[in-house]
């Protein structure tokens, strides 16, 4: 698969700290790329650099195989739909009038505007003032503005921000559908849960650094779920010098390898500690994410 976005050591420093630190992103063509990270981890700053809205301090960006430069920017942006931070929209105009502004800016056809509005299901509300739109409608209008130019790449910064579960599901379905049509979608969020079920590839950012990039399965492979040893006599186990946390059903050990697990079980058995069950805790992706961003990554 060819890559639509690649970055090489992309860095952006502000006066007193580095917001984005030597990112090597690779966004393959036609996928939904989930760009994850806690608040302030540098997602918006990265996306602004990808759109040429913010200058990198160092490093390079390649879009559709062409380097992003001030000269190539306008041409490249023609095929990139985007929504950064707050969804755009003039409150004193109607949804349709806002779309007409975008149409005039980019010299688009009427059909493109109608299609974009229909795609986000705003056609029925297009003559309402945007000021009176609900938050979800504003987000959808923002997506429609991004879609109007029939982009090959969509860069959406937290498009599900503030939406109710039904609204999130709707955006999710829409993005998956767009990706199936061959559009590459890069979507950010600070909640893994929100993009878990739509993202084919995940990039996880923490403190400006990329701490993981790959598929969901690869993410699970990297993580080591906690081990739970069910025993009625945790005290005896701890007396053997095993480092573990006592829990209601027995003991819990985190970050333990397969080899060490075998070793611990052998020692407990030799010492005659009754073992009812030994198992790995089933981890949600959210746990993996928290674990990862908490301890500073895998890469």
Partner 1 sequence: MTRAVVLELRKMRRLRTGPIVVLLVLAVAALSSASQFSGGTRETFDDPTAAPWAALLLTYTMMAAMTSPILTAVLASRQTDIEHAGAGWTLAATAGYTPGVLCRAKVVALSLVLLPAVALQSLLVIGAGAVAGIRAPLDAGPWIGYTTLLFLLDVAFLALHVWLAATVENQLVSVGIGMLGAFLAAFTLLIPSAVSRLIPWGYYAVIAHAAQDGDVVTYQTPPYAWIAGFLILVGAVYAFVTRRLDRIER
Ligand X SMILES: Nc1ncnc2c1ncn2[C@@H]1O[C@H](COP(=O)(O)OP(=O)(O)OP(=O)(O)O)[C@@H](O)[C@H]1O
**Residues that bind ligand X in the complex, under the rule CB under 6 A:** 14, 19, 37, 39-45, 190
Pairing of strands 227-230, 209-214: unpaired
Interface with partner 1 in residues 221-280 (CB under 8 A)? none
Please give the residue whose beta carbon sits closest to Mg ion in the complex: 44
Partner in contact with 40, chosen from ligand X, partner 1, Mg ion, none, beta carbon below 5 to 8 Å by kind: ligand X
Torsion, Cα of 107, 113, 119, 121 (10° steps): 140
Element (H, E) at 171: helix 165-180
Interface residues with Mg ion (CB under 5 A) are 44
Closer by beta carbon to partner 1, 162 or else 294: 162
Name all contacts of 62-66 with Cβ < 8 Å and 24+ positions apart.
62/3, 62/5, 62/6, 62/7, 62/8, 63/4, 63/5, 63/153, 64/4, 64/152, 64/153, 65/2
User: Which member of 1, 71, 74, 166 binds partner 1 (CB under 8 A)?
Assistant: 74
Helix then strand then coil, in percent of the chain rounded to 5, is 40, 25, 35
Print the binding letters for residues 34-73 with partner 1: x by CB under 8 A, - otherwise: --------------x--x-xxx------------------
* Binding segment toward partner 1, per CB under 8 A, in 98-106, 165-173, 219-227, 258-266: 98-106
Is 299 one of the binding residues for partner 1 (CB under 8 A)?
A: no
Written as six digits, the tokens of 248 are: 């209601």
Closer by beta carbon to ligand X, 42 or else 159: 42
C-alpha–C-alpha distance, residues 252 and 229, integer Å: 6
* Binding segment toward partner 1, per CB under 8 A, in 15-23, 82-90, 211-219, 264-272: 82-90
Is 140 one of the binding residues for partner 1 (CB under 8 A)?
A: no
Looking at the chain, how many residues does it have?
A: 299
Is 91 one of the binding residues for partner 1 (CB under 8 A)?
A: yes
Smallest separation, CB 14 to ligand X (Å) = 4
Q: What is the b/e burial string over 249-281, where b = at least 16 CB atoms within 10 angstroms of the residue's CB?
A: ebbbbeebeeeeeeebeeebeeeebeeeebeee
- Which residues in this chain contact partner 1 in the complex, by CB under 8 A? 48, 51, 53-55, 74, 77, 80, 82, 84-93, 97, 100-102, 104-106, 130, 145
């Amino acid at each position: 698969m060819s890559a639509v976005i690649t970055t090489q050591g992309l860095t952006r420093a502000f006066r007193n700290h580095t917001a984005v630190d030597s990112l090597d992103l690779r966004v393959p063509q036609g996928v939904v790329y989930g760009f994850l990270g806690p608040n302030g981890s540098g997602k918006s700053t990265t996306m602004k650099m990808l759109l040429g809205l913010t200058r990198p301090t160092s490093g390079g960006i390649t879009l559709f195989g062409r380097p992003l430069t001030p000269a190539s920017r306008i041409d490249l942006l023609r095929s990139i739909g985007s929504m950064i931070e707050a969804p755009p929209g003039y409150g004193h105009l109607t949804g349709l009038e806002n779309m007409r502004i975008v149409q005039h800016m980019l010299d688009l056809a009427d059909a493109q505007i109608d299609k974009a509005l229909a795609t986000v299901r705003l056609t029925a509300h297009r003559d309402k003032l945007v000021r009176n739109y609900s938050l979800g409608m504003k987000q959808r209008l923002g997506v429609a503005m991004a879609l109007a130019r029939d982009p090959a790449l969509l860069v959406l910064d937290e498009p599900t921000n503030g939406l109710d579960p039904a609204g999130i599901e709707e955006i999710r379905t829409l993005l998956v559908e767009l990706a199936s049509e061959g559009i590459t979608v890069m979507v950010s969020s600070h909640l893994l849960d929100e993009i878990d079920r739509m993202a084919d590839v995940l990039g996880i950012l923490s403190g400006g650094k990329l701490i993981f990039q790959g598929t969901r399965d690869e993410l699970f492979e990297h993580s080591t779920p906690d081990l739970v040893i069910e025993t009625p006599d945790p005290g005896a186990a701890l007396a053997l010098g095993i480092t573990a946390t006592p829990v209601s059903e027995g003991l819990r050990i985190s970050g333990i390898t397969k080899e060490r697990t075998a070793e611990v079980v052998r020692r407990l058995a030799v010492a005659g500690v009754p073992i009812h069950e030994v198992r790995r805790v089933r981890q949600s992706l959210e746990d993996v994410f928290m674990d990862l961003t908490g301890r500073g990554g895998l890469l």
